[in-house]
Copies of this chain bind each other. A is one copy, B any other.
Amino acid sequence: MNPKIKWLREKMRGLDMQGMIVSNPINIRYLTGINAEGVLLITRKENHYITDSRYIEDVHSTVTIDDEIIISNFTDISPYDYENFFSFCENVGFEENYITYAQYKNYMQRYKVNNFEETENMIEKQRMVKDEEEIAKIQKACELTDACFEHLQKFIKIGMTEKEIAYEIESYFLRNGADGLAFETIVASGKNSSKPHAITTEKTIEKGDPITIDFGCKYQGYCSDMTRTIFAGYVPDRMKPIYDLVLKDQLQTLEDMKEGAIIRNLSRNVENDFKLYGHNLIHSLGHGVGLDIHEIPYISGKNDNVLKENMVVTDEPGIYLPGEFGIRIEDTVLITKTGCINLTKSDKNYIIVDN
């Protein structure tokens, strides 16, 4: 059987769970490789994936005999079949953080299960620590991101719009073998950079603008995430101290990230250092990266957990001066026993384009 489903079955056994309904398509992709819309039923004796005619051909071509997954079109499943999937199952898990209350009620009626049990992000927690194959895919996504950034430094000219730059990023990724974007690219120049979650606009790049570019691609489903704030023509003097402070704390966090590091402290160190200079860290210092662009663990001052080997997380401090400008610097990072490996390797010194 597929080793990830095997893991899930062992986990379920430990929780006295005889069945589980997996509905989150990212979790299904993690377990099976299937990239579609449907539901995965882990029953006492079988693994069933139920989808519809749009996906069935593609799903059949993804799954191998070794996976031991029975694939069906939902139109071929009768109410009687649904009632029987979990016969002799006392406790059946479901994903309470993914399905709506209405779907939950629908599951109750459809599957006639004795006891539905919450699974508390069981699969998401397992996804935090990546295996070799997953790391290789994230690494490839990060390499494409570095290469794209190299290309951008020649491409970006004063007078271009933010949107033009964002289009070029998407186009570069597609031309170079990525599945597509990991998330909607942010290109925020001048005053727009002062918003942490800026929207890319038709504003043109002007001389002296900082340009925050937050971007990443997917490679075989796995994401990369990198931010650089670069400058058009020259680096205005008033921006240098802010840039230097953000970079200092970004580098210090890289120093501190390793197996066993207490996540809360990583964030608090940056928060405290920013405060010394009269600034605040107004968003999380980072987040997990994998099949989802934002995964657990969140690197925040409220997270009491520790980093583990083979987690992949971002390190992205930022300072935002409303109505003026903002600076954010972000890498995607692989945690190791003794430190971390920065997977996005682009330069973080002052970068000036079109000078």
Contacts and interface: CB of A to CB of B under 8 A. Distances in A.
A45 interface: no
Nearest to A170: B163
A100 B100 contact: yes
A54 interface: yes
Interface in A277-296: 282
A171 B175 contact: no
A100 B102 contact: no
A74 interface: no
Most buried by B among A94, A102, A105, A201: A102
Contacts of A102: 96-97, 118
The binding surface of chain A is classed by DSSP as mixed
Interface in A167-186: 167, 170-171, 174-175
A197 interface: yes
Nearest to A199: B180
A234 interface: no
Contacts of A103: 101
Contacts of A167: 167, 171
Contacts of A282: 53
A132 interface: no
Interface in A91-125: 94, 96-105, 118
B96 A105 contact: yes
Nearest to A121: B102
Contacts of A100: 96-101
A202 interface: yes
Nearest to A174: B202
Most buried by B among A100, A163, A175: A100
A103 B104 CA distance: 12
24 contacts: A53-B282, A54-B196, A54-B197, A94-B101, A96-B100, A96-B101, A96-B102, A97-B101, A97-B102, A98-B100, A100-B100, A100-B101, A101-B101, A101-B104, A101-B118, A102-B118, A104-B104, A163-B170, A163-B171, A163-B174, A167-B167, A167-B171, A174-B202, A175-B202
Question: Closest 3 CB pairs between A and B?
Answer: A96-B101, A96-B102, A101-B104
